[in-house]
Structure 1
Amino acid sequence: MNLLLSAAFVLCWSSGFIGAKLGAGSADAVTVLMWRFLPLAAVLGLVAVTLTRNAWRGLTARAVLRQAAIGALSQSGYLLTVYYAIQLGVSSGTTALIDGTQPLVAGALAGPLLGQYVSRRQWLGLGLGVAGVALVTVADATAAATGTVEPWAYAVPFLGMFSLVAATFLEGRSPARTAPSVAMTIHCATSAVVFTVLAAAAGAAAPPAEASFWTAIAWLVVLATFGGYGLYWLVLRRSGVTEVNTLMFLMAPVTAVWGAAMFGEPFGVQTAAGLTVGLLAVTVVRRGTRGAGRPEGRVAGPAPAERAGARAGVQRAARGTAGGDHGRGRAS
């Protein structure tokens, strides 16, 4: 069962990048994101009123504002850059790989910014991860050289990755514990407001009539959000942090293969080499973390929703996430 749940989690989470590619063909990025989060916010708001009222008791205005800021970084900022990069022509596999380096970067920055211990093996893993990103990005850019993809478009996914890093540190410094259901509701409501305002300002709030648009929206809501985020928490509770950390780094190769098969995106020897180097980086960092004998941490994803103190939380980001994610929500 754990194996089946893990496989389903990888597929559902990777489907978010594929759904972004589907939506990019029928509407602007802000239009797709607006209509992705409006129904989500409505459903989660209804659930909050009817089923999870007890989880909201005692929640302060400061905690709500902090979760809104985390949601704006980990969902709104992250997803906007992902969708925009794919709309500009960057392949879904390259976007997934760049965003997938977030745990390594968060782990490395925990040292110089917060004085947390970062081993030489972790720095080596970060270097390998960056090398893998460079290989895949160059391969993608070379394959698209005759197309319409501008060179600066490959910097857009990095903005999303750093948005996730900022959310990780903000979440890690939260002094109070917020229930995952509450955090996810606040994150989605924040994103619904942000993307509705952006779409209205751009004159792109009205959804297109094409069936392909609503197919992409259904894909993103059912597979990427409910499937991805729901299975994220289920696998985390059943199998632990190490398992989730490992699975998060399988997203890039799965997305690259999926994008190549479904959309004909470039996937050559150099792309395969870059993905292999990226997975090697994860192996190096995880072995270094285990060898140091330090406690495991919680994965930091696109929709972070659990915290246990300021320095301890970011220390977990440095040790747990560097060892192996939305929303990673994300979570996306």
Structure 2
Amino acid sequence: MGETVVARRLDALLGAAFVVTWSSGFIGAELGTRGAPASGLLAWRFIIAAAVLGGWLAWRRRRIPRRDLVLHVVIGTLAQGGYLYGVFLAAEHGVVAGINNLITALQPLVAVTLAVPILGERLTRRQFAGFAAGLAGVALVVGGDVRGGAPAWAYLLPFAAMLSLVGATFLERRARPAAALPEALAVQALVSAVLFAGVAGADGALVPPADPVFWTAVAILVVLAMFGGYGLYWVNVRRTGVARVSALLYLTPPTTMLWGWIMFGSTLTPLSLLGVLVCAAAVTTALHNPTPRPTAPRPSEVRQAQTTAPPESTHA
């Protein structure tokens, strides 16, 4: 019982950290693309991240099995290349953070709908209602920030980004590569660095600006969004499953709104504050899961342990 309580508290802590750090990526995108193309910003994000993670990998002398290497190349291309380039390119073409968040907030509904037949995760009607309500909450949160100005095709970019992240998540859950998270992030960062350096070079955007705002955005994207948000995304997926992490994504628009208020002086409208409450209620509903944790032993295993272990034993 004690171990279960500790595990749940750890899950809650990891989930909260994920929400805060994942939300920072939208702020870094908006801040960085004010003075530089999206491709250049992403290239330097991953060049720095790849240098750090690649150096760590070389120092540890870790060998990655060929199967895991190929899988993480594909996962990195989808989750880093496809998702981030779609979000950042949308910001570059005038899609404001609110709409970017609103469209990518479709990810939880898409993910949990597919998680049932593909991954076999169980989802109650109450949980599904929570996911649907979460989307309504997101709409309220960003309602004050939904304005035009971007070309019509630009709004397809965050939608494609969302589908790319869903694809990467399901590939990782189905294939279950054995490489540890640092090794996985190192491979994905290296692949993304090559990908975005090539794109930035073709755009003539590889030379970084001297503006300190640009490097502030890069620091946010590397330290908070990459090592924090993206790393914690996979930690939470592995610990608690796709459905729970998808529910937590509904808390990122309200958190992004607070980030925007702190950094850019964005207005907190009553409609947005109402949306925060709706999102919180929706996530609480969606996270209500009567089923055991994915890593919990089967009942038959527990009964067998109880019959074979001494009375004072605490076998799980």
Fold match by TM threshold 0.5: yes
Match of 1:170? 171
- Give the % identical residues: 45
The structure-2 alpha-carbon separation of the partners of 1:136 and 1:65, relative to structure 1 and needing over 3 Å to count, comes to same
Deviation track 1:45-83 (CA, whole Å, cap 9, x = no partner) reads 1111112x24x25x02x3211111111111111111221
From the superposition, tell whether residues 139 and 36 of structure 1 become closer, same or farther in structure 2 (CA, over 3 Å). Answer: same
- 1:32 equivalent in alignment to 2:41: yes
Q: Which residue of 2 aligns with 1:328?
A: none
Asked if 1:43 corresponds to 2:41, the answer is no
TM-fit CA distance, 1:9:
5.1
Gaps of 5+ in 2: 1-8, 296-316
Change in 2 beyond 3 A, CA 1:81/1:207: same
- Equivalent position of 2:129 in the other structure: 124
Question: RMSD over aligned Cα, in angstroms?
Answer: 3.3
The alpha-carbon deviation at position 259 of structure 1 amounts to: 1.0
Give the deviation of 1:110 after TM superposition: 2.4
Q: What is the TM-score normalised by the length of structure 1? A: 0.73
- Cross-structure match for 1:282: 283
Partner Cα separation in structure 2 for residue 98 and residue 92 of structure 1: 10
Deviation at 1:232, TM superposition (A): 6.2
Distance across 2 between alignment mates of 1:203 and 1:64: 30
- Give the counterpart letter for 2:124 in structure 1: S
1:78 corresponds to which of 79, 83, 89: 83
SS in 2 for 1:46: helix
- The separation in 1 between residues aligned to 2:224 and 2:122, in whole angstroms, is 37
Q: Deviations over 1:163-194 (max 9, x none)?
A: 11111111111154221111111110111111
Measure how far apart 1:284 and its partner are.
Answer: 1.7
- Structure 2 distance, partners of 1:268, 1:296, is 39
What's the CA shift for 1:101? 4.6
The aligned runs of 1:77-156 (5 Å cut-off) are 77-112=82-117, 117-136=122-141, 138-141=143-146, 144-145=147-148, 148-156=149-157
SS in 1 for 2:179: coil
> Which one of 292, 295, 303 corresponds to residue 293 of structure 2?
295
Q: Distance in 2 between matches of 1:232 and 1:42?
A: 21
Could you say what secondary structure the match of 2:287 adopts?
Answer: helix
**1:263 counterpart residue number:** 264
Deviation at 1:275, TM superposition (A): 3.6
Quick one: structure 1 residues 256 and 152, their matched pair in 2 at CA, closer, same or farther if it must change by over 3 Å?
Answer: farther
Structure 1 residue 23, shift from structure 2 partner? 0.4
Q: Take 1:201 and 1:32, find their aligned partners in 2: how far apart are those partners?
A: 14
Query: In 2, distance between residues paired with 1:276 and 1:133?
Result: 10
Native 8 Å contact 2:86 2:160 kept in 1: yes
List alignment gaps of at least 5 residues for structure 1: 298-332
Q: Distance in 1 between matches of 2:41 and 2:91?
A: 12
Q: State which structure, 1 or 2, has the greater radius of gyration over its C-alpha atoms.
A: 2
Q: 1:94: Cα distance to partner?
A: 4.3
